[in-house]
Amino acid sequence: MTKLTQEEQDIMAWGAEAFKGPWLDLCGVFQKLNAGEDLSRDQALIDPFFVPFDIDARIIYRAMKAGGKKAILGDNGSMLTIITNTRGDKIIWAACELEEDGAYTEFFPLKDKLGKTWDKKLAELLFDNDMDAGFAYAADWLKKQKGMEHIDLGILKVANVQFFGAFKRAHEEAGDGRKLGLMTVKMVDAVREVMDEGWLRFSPDVNLKKLLELLTPALSALDPVNKALQKLLGSLPV
């Protein structure tokens, strides 16, 4: 396994709480609803971490199945998620998810499969920013894995660990999220940084990526305003 710096370890631990935990909770509700279970509102509530109230996952489920998934991710949302180290030359976390009719119904953690030939080869392709070749290689590899042969890969998503670091810093600088107004503008700044640095990549180019790329120049142009708002909101108690 790749040895992480202390900063990378801290970011990954925070990301597991802030991103992975809520996402798995959301997918857990999706799986139950997709299986026909009739969940109450209380059973469907999830904690999204970044806001001080729970969200009814049934609403997100219905929106995704009504066309939200296709609008954001395209026809096939089955996804291989890769997290690289800061340098971008090593894969430090991976998971695959099966999407069915707008809902993610299966989750396969791949951390125990790292440190092998397949992820070293994939890491080389990603480090060279050959995302299309990386997608083709990953799709072929998945088809050869026991228990995952049924997955037709639709999306390769690659996040540098600093993707999570940008949002971690924004959250901490807003009093661990207590200052909601400040956190909002900090998060906008984090999105700009992520896109400017190339810390989030997709193959193929899903609509979500296209939207973020469209917004990035506007976010950069508004950076002086954002910084002024940060200074103002940072002086407020909430």
- The model's pLDDT over 64-102, given as tens digits with 9 standing for 90+, comes to 989 888 889 999 999 999 999 999 999 999 999 999 988
- pLDDT tens per residue, range 89-139: 999 999 999 999 888 989 999 999 999 999 999 999 999 999 999 999 999
Peptide bond into 48 cis (omega under 30): no
Task: Count CB-CB contacts under 10 A for residue 182.
Answer: 23
The verdict on residue 128 lying in a domain is no
The verdict on residue 89 lying in a domain is no
| Separation between Cα atoms, residue 62 and residue 161, nearest integer Å | 31
Average of per-residue pLDDT across 4-27: 96
Q: Are 171 and 177 in contact (CB under 8 A)?
A: yes
> What pLDDT was estimated at residue 98?
95
> What pLDDT was estimated at residue 183?
85
The verdict on residue 228 lying in a domain is yes
The verdict on residue 109 lying in a domain is no
The verdict on residue 65 lying in a domain is no
Tally of structural domains, the chain = 1
Q: Are 43 and 25 in contact (CB under 8 A)?
A: no
Structure token pair of residue 192: 């700009």
The verdict on residue 34 lying in a domain is no
Q: Which domain holds residue 191?
A: 166-234
The verdict on residue 93 lying in a domain is no
How would residue 184 be classed by pLDDT, with cut points 50, 70 and 90? confident
How would residue 158 be classed by pLDDT, with cut points 50, 70 and 90? very high
CA 148-150-153 angle, to 5 degrees, is: 80
